Amino acid sequence: MQRFLAKRAVSSGVSLILLVIAVFFLSRLTGDPTDLYLPIDASQEARENFRALHGLDQPLIVQFFSYLGDLVRLDFGESIRRARPALEVVTEAFAWTLQLAVITMAIVSGAAITLGSLAAFNLGGIFDRIATFFSLIGASAPDFWVAIVAIVVFSVGFGWLPTSGTGTVWHWILPIAVLFIRPFGLILQVVRGSMITALGSAYVKTARAKGVGPRATIFVHALRNAMLPVLTVIGDQAAALLNGAVVVETIFGFPGIGKLMIDSILQRDFSVVLASIMVTAFAIFLMNILIDLAYAALDPRIRY
Amino acid sequence: MSDTHTTVAAARKDPGEPGPLRTFLKLLRADKPATCAAIFLGLVILCALFGPMLLEAVSSKQNLRGRNAVPFLFGQDWTMWLGGDQLGRPLLARIIVAASNTMAIATGAVAASLLIGSSLGLVAGYSRGRLGQMIPRLADVIMSFPSLLLAVIVLYMLEPSVGNIVLVLAITRIPVYLRTTRAEVLEIRERMFVQAAIVMGASTPRIIFRHILPVILPTLVTIATLDFAFVMLAESSLSFLGIGIQPPEVTWGLMVAQGRPYLTSAWWLSFWPGLAIILTTLSLNLLSNWMRIALDPTQRWRLETGGKKNG
């Protein structure tokens, strides 16, 4: 177990270091933050002071190594825009996205597993066809388009839901609904396929033969075995949810990590960009570990 | 197992058997949704190829009196049937012209990632040395981070030109092909016909390209079709966020973005291009589903016997 964890940590760590190096140098190519933060007629002296304050007067390679040195002490630098520690800004935003992602994935997993199992159980029936059709549409819909159509219909047309921002429960409904669609379609397909295989297997026939009812057969016997491939997709989709979060958070003005990342790139707030990349990558690493642990819990044959 | 099937089938082939194209069309007709999808995609490809040539001038001609013109006024010129945009340009004509950029970027990205990914996968799967160990790590590095976020970050830093967008999208999709190809090669190279070819003294390139590649190709084509849909959605998202294609060039995603400020007064500006995206991706998904069955010799009977029981 410990060896497995260590191996995973090393390989993720190497990926992350490469990413941080690439982004560090690429982001410096976008331009000097000084031009963005100081007025056009700022004096030469003011510019020099600004650069010295944020360490931008040093050669690039020196900046890089001093950044690495700070990282070792878990100092992620300071946000130029907000004049606060970058890590603080990022964790705040990340907490919003995490809530959004956890709620969405919980609803998606519950719905997709239930409906996918039911579809597999009445294979070829009317319910199966409807479920398959909607999951295909869901997997094909561009999220930004769904988001703005939803705003037109539910916020502008009916006036039921707020268009953007946070504050009440109502603000969460549209972002969650939009994020729900794509993973729901994909996971449902996998649950359905995996359940079809499981339902055709010998242990399910045994269960039926010894008189276990249909509901217990699906949800106790077949589902547990069918869950392994489903877990993989749920993991992939949970990570991919961050892709959707960029678009959805931008449209709904949601203060999460996706919006923060885009804003901070535009504002040349380099330390925030780098910190948000590292926090995101770390979260994905943790999630993958959890998925692997869940594998072992579901299938006693798997041991690390 | 399946290679013995193919030899038997080849031996039985009599002169009266229809050619590959006829068989292909027959298999396609057995699956109605896939037929509709193929026809729609054919239409989109025609638009992409000939649209800019025929409609470029019409689609960029501004007409300030026709600003945000209402759709479904069939009395006018046909290009205005879906309404006009914020500068009075005909939406239908613009959608047809935009098909060209949208398709070109997706085709470029899919072709590049397919070529690079599967070549690396072949090498990684076939070579038993260090290289075979190193290449999969490359896929891990790319996959350790959400692909769209990566594209967003890189595109903000590079110039958002067509070439860069294709490059970024291709890089984020390479792992898909690399992993699939490698996994398949690892399995296939142990099979009897590969061993036989080695014993008979076939060169390594010959074994890879003549013996192994043909077996993997159907899987790769199926994945590429599905991936085309994904890349199209990603490109649309990038254009929507304003870091994809820049005006005056136009793609469907950019059209949705351009219509966004007028949502409350003129919904059709964003609605139609979005519908074009959704129909194209849906068609690709349907076609990929059909391919998965049609290109697999052990599954093909499902289509040949009427296609009622495709589970």
Q: Which of residues 243-272 of B touch A (CB under 8 A)?
A: 253, 256-257, 260, 263-264, 267, 270-271
- Count of structural domains, chain B: 1
Residue that is written with structure tokens 């501004």 in the block? B62
In chain A, what percentage of residues exceed pLDDT 70?
Answer: 98
Ramachandran region, residue B299 (left: φ > 0; alpha: ψ -120 to 50; beta: rest)? alpha
Is B1 contained in some domain? no
pLDDT at B13: 46
Question: Which domain, by its residues, includes B276?
Answer: 30-304
Q: How many CB atoms lie within 10 A of CB A42?
A: 14
Contact indicator for B152, B241 with CB cutoff of 8 Å: yes
Interval A269-290 mean pLDDT = 84
Is B6 contained in some domain? no
Is B60 contained in some domain? yes
**Contact (CB<8Å) B278/A142:** yes
Go through the domains of chain A in sequence order and give each one's CATH number: 2-72 (no CATH), 86-303 (1.10.3720.10)
Q: Tokens for B25, please give them.
A: 């069309």
**Contact (CB<8Å) A243/B147:** yes
**In whole angstroms, what is the distance from residue A180 CA to residue A186 CA?**
11
**In whole angstroms, what is the distance from residue A185 CA to residue A190 CA?**
9
Chain A environment of B239 (Cβ under 8 Å):
none
Is B310 contained in some domain? no
Cis peptide before B248 (omega within 30 of 0): yes
Is B224 contained in some domain? yes
CA distance A31 to chain B (A): 9
Q: Tokens for B257, please give them.
A: 């973005």
- Among A36, A145, A164, A277, the strongest candidate for a mutation testing the B interface, having the largest count of B CBs within 10 A, is A145
pLDDT at B114: 93
CA distance A59 to chain B (A): 20
User: Using 50, 70 and 90 to split pLDDT, how confident is the model at A110?
Assistant: very high
Q: Which of residues 33-92 of B touch A (CB under 8 A)?
A: none
Per residue in A198-256, pLDDT (tens digit) is 877 888 888 888 888 877 877 777 877 788 788 888 888 888 887 778 888 888 888 88
Most confident of B14-23, B51-60, B124-133, B224-233: B224-233
Output the pTM of the full model.
0.79
Interval B167-178 mean pLDDT = 88
CA distance A145 to chain B (A): 6
Per residue in B270-288, pLDDT (tens digit) is 888 888 888 998 898 888 8
Higher pLDDT, residue A169 or B310: A169
CA distance B25 to chain A (A): 24
**In whole angstroms, what is the distance from residue B2 CA to residue B215 CA?**
10
Residue B171's CATH number: 1.10.3720.10
Is B123 contained in some domain? yes
**In whole angstroms, what is the distance from residue B103 CA to residue B46 CA?**
11
The beta-strand segments (E) located in chain A are none
**Contact (CB<8Å) A144/B154:** no
Q: Which of residues 86-125 of A touch B (CB under 8 A)?
A: 123-124
- Choose the closest CB to A243 out of B148, B257, B263: B148
Is B10 contained in some domain? no
Pick the residue from chain B with its C-alpha nearest to A31. B157
Per residue in B221-252, pLDDT (tens digit) is 888 888 888 888 888 888 888 788 887 788 88
Three-class secondary structure of residue A78 per DSSP:
strand
